[in-house]
Amino acid sequence: MGEVIVITSGKGGVGKTTTTANLGTGFALMGKKVVLIDADIGLRNLDVVMGLENRIVYDLVDVTEGNCRLKQALIRDKRYETLYLLPAAQTRDKNAVSPDQMQKLCKDLAQDFDYVLIDCPAGIEQGFKNAIAGADRAVIVTTPEVSAVRDADRIIGLLEAEGKSNPKLIVNRIRPHMVKKGDMMDIDDIIEILAVDLLGIIPEDEYIVISTNRGEPAVVNPASAASTAYKNIVRRMMGENVPLMSMEAESGFFGRLKKIFGFKEG
């Protein structure tokens, strides 16, 4: 039985899709069998970030409505044999799927894959409820901004109410020089306020834009600063105790926070 993990945030545009694509590719790099579900029905994006937009025949709604078998809708990645995508429907809306259907779908996929990653839509409505329904755990993505952290707090509360406690946090788009100047909230601040475990930090990285243009997740490019960060997160999610990378440590984020939490604990 594999693990089903939802990548969520509350606020839009903070990096859920980018994170899902890179962590998924990262798992594949480690030889794991992984499937990415784009749960953002009506606003399909993950296919483009993965560079698989031309290969879509069936989508998630086709599966739940029985227009095709689950296996037929899975698209294999161009480079990695153990990496698959289940694309969202583009011409339907969030109500085309129910939480029960998502639960069943996730269960089925967890039979065959080590990891099932779900790219959650922004917001707290039906799309969010569908995306979290089948998940064993949640990863919350935020950026170091008041509005994003506020929404993350709301999401943590909603996840708890659904019985999905102990989510792990990724802080995306950190700019070390701004943190140093005192013009960006640091990780200590955010962790203290949200009272959750930190899974990792992703720096602001121009290469993310370039790789999205190309349809090749940045994690595969060693020149990308974010690449190491994603790889470290993947290893933490696999239960390894990986210390913070120097970019993270150097920026003085960790006054108090001595220990980074592996994903398996707690």
Partner 1 sequence: MFDLLQKLFGRETSKSKDIAKERLRLVLVHDRVNVSPQFMEVLKEDMIKAISNYMEINEKDMEVTLTQTNTSQVALVANIPVNRMKRGALPAE
Which one of partner 1, Mg ion, ligand ATP, none interacts with residue 157, CB within 5 to 8 A by kind? partner 1
Q: At what angle do helices 146-161 and 187-194 cross, to 10 degrees?
A: 30
Evaluate whether 202 touches 176 at the Cβ level (below 8 Å). no
Which one of ligand ATP, Mg ion, partner 1, none interacts with residue 173, CB within 5 to 8 A by kind? ligand ATP
Interface residues toward partner 1, by CB under 8 A = 145-146, 149-150, 153-154, 157, 179, 181-186, 189, 193
From first CA to last CA, the distance across the chain in angstroms is 20
CB of 190 to partner 1, least distance (A): 9
- Whichever of 188 and 204 has its CB closer to ligand ATP, that residue is 204
Show the site string, 11-30: x = touches ligand ATP by CB under 6 A, - = not.
-xxxxxxx------------
Give me the phi and psi of 201, to 5 degrees please.
-130, 135
CB of 38 to Mg ion, least distance (A): 8
- Whichever of 197 and 205 has its CB closer to ligand ATP, that residue is 205
232 lines the binding site for Mg ion (CB under 5 A): no
Return the residues of window 40-79 that contact Mg ion according to CB under 5 A: 45
Show the site string, 47-86: x = touches ligand ATP by CB under 6 A, - = not.
----------------------------------------
139 lines the binding site for ligand ATP (CB under 6 A): no
CB of 209 to partner 1, least distance (A): 25
189 lines the binding site for ligand ATP (CB under 6 A): no
Other CB atoms within 10 Å distance of the CB of residue 222: 8
Contacts with Mg ion, residue ranges (CB under 5 A): 16-17, 45
Contacts with ligand ATP, residue ranges (CB under 6 A): 9, 12-18, 40, 45, 122, 172-173, 202, 204-205, 208-209, 212, 226
